[in-house]
Homo-oligomer: A and B are copies of this chain.
Amino acid sequence: MRATLLTIGTEILFGSIVNTNSVFLSRQLNMLGVDVLRHITVGDNRGRLLRALETSFEDCDIVITTGGLGPTEDDLTKETIAEFFGVPLKEDAEQLEILTSWFAAQNRVMAPNNIKQAWLPEGSEVLPNPNGTAPGFYLTDGKRHIYVLPGPPRENKPMFLDYVAPKLSSHEDGYLYYKIVRTIGIGESDLEMKLMDLIDGQTDPTIATYAKTFECSFRVASKRPTLKEAQDAVEECMVKIRKLVGEYIYSEEDRELLSVVLDMMKKKGLTLASAESITGGMFAKLITDIPGASKVFQRGVVTYSNAAKISELDVSPETLEKYGAISAQTAEEMVRGLSLYSGASVCVSVTGNAGPDADEGKPVGQFFVGIMYDGKVTVREFMARRKTRDDVRSLACTEMTKMVYNILRSID
């Protein structure tokens, strides 16, 4: 299966918003074994939309569109796709009822032009949209398949996952089932080496590794006549995989490490506190991005200046004088001070240089992470390979998370 992603939206051509739909959909499609050959973004323009459809179907059997399904005159995605497939638009009685009830439920008056949202190309299959007024649809002439989704991510993501992905999984003969497995502490080539025997000679299930920023994951996929058979084949393969690389796996459900860490801490009844210098609140921000983080993460401090390190965390002025703020010694005193005054079961500290210039003679990219649990402190030194401010700070947060994870793994 080969696909083009077609985004319809002027805001993207203005650079006002980032095309996150294409990122999400590309990732999902690749995981489903669909090759994404191109992305195209055009405005609400009939001619350019038709031309994009034409080009896309030259080498793809699937086109997925997002956007342009609003109720205004500008929005002409549906009309243009119907024209391309040579079918008329028809009012869908069921959709009109859903639309009418939606407005009633929200105590809002339905404007006449909203009725347009209940019109669909003849022969199309509705993709329900419980999160908005514009239904999506699927249309095919047997050879060319188009999935038409609304633009807002909170509408098109669930629509893709609930309706498009299952259809794609059974597009050709059989059902696809896969797992995304995430690892830590092993590089892509080592991972491939350890899985070599399984990867070589594989036909089904297949194993494909993906290097992501700071970590490596892999996909185990199977396509069988029934979903049950595909699931069984993947699980059977996972048993072998766990034997070979189980110690590196932290999630078999494609979850973020930080979210796994929070769950582990919740289960163990542990609390976490952070003292940040170089990352300036980024670590706390990432944790509190996750709903429900408050059960585990109760407080953090951002001690950006030396004065703050001294007054908030009892770092000694002599240590700062002798070793500098960017040192293992300072990281250690920060985490000891944090533990003392926060009482959290796991404490983590970080200090370093995110650039743009060398600081205290310490190079850009150097940082130290301290961790304290059960009275014991460990400090590790790191050097970021990529040196932009954001790269260094992101890596520091990742290494903090990894060190917390490793502590948690060591606790029975």
Contacts and interface: CB of A to CB of B under 8 A. Distances in A.
Which of A25, A48, A355, A390 has the most chain B CB within a 10 Å cutoff? A48
B291 A299 contact: no
Given A280-B293, A282-B285, A298-B304, 8 more contacts: A13-B26, A14-B26, A15-B36, A37-B43, A52-B55, A284-B302, A288-B302, A299-B304
Interface in A1-32: 7, 12-20, 22-30
Contacts of A17: 23
Q: How many copies altogether?
A: 2
A291 B355 CA distance: 7
A281 interface: yes
B294 A304 contact: yes
A371 to B, nearest CB: 18
A90 interface: no
Interface in A203-227: 210, 212
Interface of A: 7, 12-20, 22-30, 36-43, 45, 47-48, 51-52, 55, 58-59, 154, 210, 212, 274, 276, 279-285, 287-289, 291, 293-294, 297-305, 307-308, 312, 342, 355-356, 388-390
A388 B282 CA distance: 19
B302 A281 contact: yes
A17 B23 CA distance: 7
Nearest to A282: B285
7 contacts: A12-B26, A15-B23, A17-B23, A281-B287, A289-B389, A289-B390, A294-B304
A26 B15 CA distance: 5
A305 B299 CA distance: 7
Given A12-B26, A42-B37, A48-B59, A285 B285 contact: yes
Contacts of A288: 279-282, 302, 304
A355 B293 CA distance: 12
Contacts of A355: 291
Which of A17, A41, A48, A294 has the most chain B CB within a 10 Å cutoff? A41
Contacts of A59: 47-48
A99 to B, nearest CB: 22
A22 B16 contact: no
Contact of A12 (B7, B18, B39, B312): B39
A9 to B, nearest CB: 10
Contacts of A58: 51
A299 B303 contact: yes
Contacts of A39: 7, 12-13, 19, 39-41
A38 B36 contact: no
A384 to B, nearest CB: 15
Contacts of A36: 13-15
A300 to B, nearest CB: 4
